[in-house]
């Protein structure tokens, strides 16, 4: 790690008070040297692929309203070449926050309360990457800001050194480009999609290892196997996705969410919407990062930071409401 990255990491530490879905399936349909009367076979075959693999039909163009209303959980779409890959998550409800007996629980993770999502919505399968951010800058957006990659590489690594304000600039550009309303996840959405139907500290259980996420394992959690640290971010498609198809909901980079920071859930929305009152000079971060102890990666862990802060361990992912 270079000196600048080390200094940022020290500053951050001082500021701190089962089922695998394939990443992507590729198909290559070679030209058929049939007579013109047999071209019908090709058309029928392509139509069948479209029905079986809806992501193929939706790739790299805005989703039509009629198609959008027929999307199902785990359907994947991407609305331009350099747009984030989105996945549909189901409606439902969950207990937000941690139980009082969870190891390393913080008071601001309670009280636990039920949050209900009446409708499905779409979430980025991955944190926004440098390639996606750089496309925004190249397209005249993101305030022409090119964040440093700390010497770790760009392309498929998560964008870092971005503030909450920067993330808002990105979703504004993405919304304009696609003519769809993109936004940050709400805090409730972020915990809901992290848990993906589970109630344990991590979606994969009560323990965590470096084979499952990117973090600092100097202080193992709940008798987890001891390890070390990678000391930098990893590509966004590293490790297995959770049961709903999202990658790296634990570790690698913190994700900014829409909500203002509140030090408890007293008065929190119960419908999954963003909490836009409280300390709005700070916004919530979720998920933990490459530098953090595993307790900070728990599904319920939350913290707030000022909206203009830029560190090499902060990024974000995007969400989009869907027509129904």
**Backbone angle region of 9, left / alpha / beta, with phi > 0 → left and psi within -120 to 50 → alpha:** alpha
Of the listed ranges 25-29, 81-85, 160-164, 226-230, the least confidently predicted one is 25-29
CA-based torsion, 132, 134, 140, 143: positive or negative: positive
Cα separation, 208 vs 267, in Å, equals 32
pLDDT of residue 24: 35
Average pLDDT of the residues of the chain: 86
pTM score of the predicted model: 0.84
Comparison of pLDDT for 55 and 156, the residue scoring more: 156
pLDDT at 17 over 80: no
Per-residue pLDDT tens over the stretch 262-290: 999 999 999 999 999 999 999 999 999 99
Band (324; pLDDT cuts 50, 70, 90): confident
Report which of residues 196 and 10 the model is more confident about.
196
Report the largest interatomic distance among the alpha carbons of the chain, rounded to a whole angstrom.
Answer: 72
- Cα dihedral 282→287→291→296 (10° resolution): 90
Domains and CATH numbers, the chain: 3-20+82-321 (3.90.1580.10)
Per-residue pLDDT tens over the stretch 116-165: 999 999 999 999 999 999 999 999 999 999 999 999 999 999 999 999 99
124 sits in which H/E element: strand 121-124
Q: Helix, strand, coil % (nearest 5) of the chain?
A: 25, 20, 55
Q: Which helix (H) or strand (E) holds 321?
A: strand 318-321
| pLDDT tens-digit series, residues 94-112 | 999 999 999 999 999 999 9
For residues 113 and 96, is the Cβ–Cβ distance under 8 A? yes
- Number of residues that this document lists for the chain: 324
Write down the pLDDT at residue 225.
84
Contacts of 122 (CB under 8 A, 6+ apart): 71, 77, 86, 87, 88, 89, 319, 320, 321, 322
Give the per-residue pLDDT at 60: 75
pLDDT at 15: 53
Statement: residue 50 has pLDDT above 80: no
CA distance 143 to 130: 15
- Any idea which of 60-74, 267-281, 310-324 has the lowest mean pLDDT? 60-74
Helix (H) or strand (E) holding 172: helix 164-178
- The average pLDDT across 17-29 equals 31
């Amino acid at each position: 790690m270079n000196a600048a990255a080390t200094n940022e990491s020290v500053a951050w530490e001082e500021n701190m008070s089962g089922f695998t879905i394939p990443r992507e399936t590729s198909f290559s349909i070679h030209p058929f040297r049939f007579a013109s009367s047999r071209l019908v076979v090709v058309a029928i075959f392509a139509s069948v692929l479209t029905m079986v693999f809806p992501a193929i039909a939706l790739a790299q163009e805005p989703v039509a309203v009629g198609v959008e209303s027929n999307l199902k959980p785990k359907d994947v779409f991407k609305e331009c070449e350099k747009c984030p890959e989105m996945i549909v998550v189901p409606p439902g409800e969950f207990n937000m926050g941690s139980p009082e007996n969870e190891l390393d629980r913080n008071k601001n993770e309670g009280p636990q309360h039920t949050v209900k999502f009446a409708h499905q919505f779409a979430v980025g399968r991955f944190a926004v990457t440098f390639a996606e951010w750089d496309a925004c800058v190249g397209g005249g957006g993101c305030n022409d800001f090119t964040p440093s990659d700390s010497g770790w590489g760009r392309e498929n690594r998560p964008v870092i050194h971005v503030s909450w304000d920067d993330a808002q600039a990105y979703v504004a550009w993405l919304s304009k480009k696609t003519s769809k309303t993109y936004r940050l996840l709400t805090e409730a959405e972020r915990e809901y999609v992290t848990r993906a139907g589970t109630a344990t500290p991590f979606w994969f259980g009560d323990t965590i290892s470096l084979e499952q996420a990117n973090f600092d394992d100097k202080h193992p959690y709940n008798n987890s196997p001891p390890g070390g640290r990678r000391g930098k971010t990893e590509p966004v498609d590293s490790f297995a996705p959770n049961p709903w198809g999202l990658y790296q909901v634990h570790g690698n980079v913190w994700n900014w969410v829409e909500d203002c920071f509140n030090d408890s859930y007293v008065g929190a929305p119960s419908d999954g919407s963003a909490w836009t009152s409280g300390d709005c000079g700070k916004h919530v971060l979720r998920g933990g990062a490459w530098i953090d102890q595993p307790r900070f990666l728990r599904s319920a862990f939350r913290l707030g930071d000022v909206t203009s802060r830029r560190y090499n361990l902060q990024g974000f992912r995007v969400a989009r409401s869907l027509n129904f």
